[in-house]
């Protein structure tokens, strides 16, 4: 199934009035897949029960949360890697930087080769 997109106009960041405007593609979500739907799909490829699959997914969520909160990268082979990231305000020198300048934490995701390869062969269709 192709990835749907629309086209939007954007200006150049940091330029008054937007500078030269160009048109860019923007992915249009085709919905979402819930944990229930994931469980049903996984059940087709597994000898595990629905309850076992759900339990493993929930346990995996908990372990990933814990490891990220401890500053670790979680590498899941073909699925990819999850790693913690932070954003902060800038300081004029290292000794002027303090922890209050950290704005927050986020999760960075880097897909594994198999997922990257799957997206390389994706097709696209413009949403009307």
Question: Could you tell me if residue 97 is inside a domain?
Answer: yes
Question: Could you tell me if residue 2 is inside a domain?
Answer: yes
Each residue's pLDDT tens digit, 18-46: 888 999 999 999 999 999 999 999 999 99
Tokens of 125: 């269709």
Question: Could you tell me if residue 42 is inside a domain?
Answer: yes
Distance (Å, rounded) from C-alpha 117 to C-alpha 98?
41
Each residue's pLDDT tens digit, 55-91: 999 999 999 999 999 999 999 999 999 999 999 999 9
The structural domain count of the chain equals 3
Assign 100 to helix, strand or coil: helix
Asked if 23 and 8 touch (Cβ cutoff 8 Å), the reply is: yes
Residues 39 and 19 in one domain: no
Question: Could you tell me if residue 56 is inside a domain?
Answer: yes
Distance (Å, rounded) from C-alpha 43 to C-alpha 54?
10
Helices (H), ranges, the chain: 35-44, 50-69, 113-120
pLDDT of amino acid 15:
84
Question: Could you tell me if residue 19 is inside a domain?
Answer: yes
Tell the burial category of 111 from Cβ atoms under 10 Å away from its Cβ (0-12, 13-18, 19+).
middle
| Domain carrying residue 44 | 33-70
4 C-beta neighbours (distance < 10 Å), count: 15
């Amino acid at each position: 199934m192709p990835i749907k997109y629309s086209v939007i106009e954007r200006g150049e960041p940091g330029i008054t009035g937007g500078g030269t405007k160009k048109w860019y593609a923007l992915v249009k979500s085709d919905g979402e897949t819930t944990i229930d739907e994931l469980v049903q799909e996984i059940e087709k490829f597994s000898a595990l029960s629905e309850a076992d699959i759900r339990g493993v997914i929930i346990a995996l969520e908990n372990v990933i949360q814990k490891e990220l909160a401890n500053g670790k990268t979680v590498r899941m082979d073909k699925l990819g890697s999850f790693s913690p990231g932070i954003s902060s305000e800038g300081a004029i020198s290292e000794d002027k930087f303090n922890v209050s300048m950290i704005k927050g934490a986020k999760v960075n995701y880097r897909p594994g080769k198999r997922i990257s390869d799957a997206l390389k062969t994706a097709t696209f269709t413009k949403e009307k």
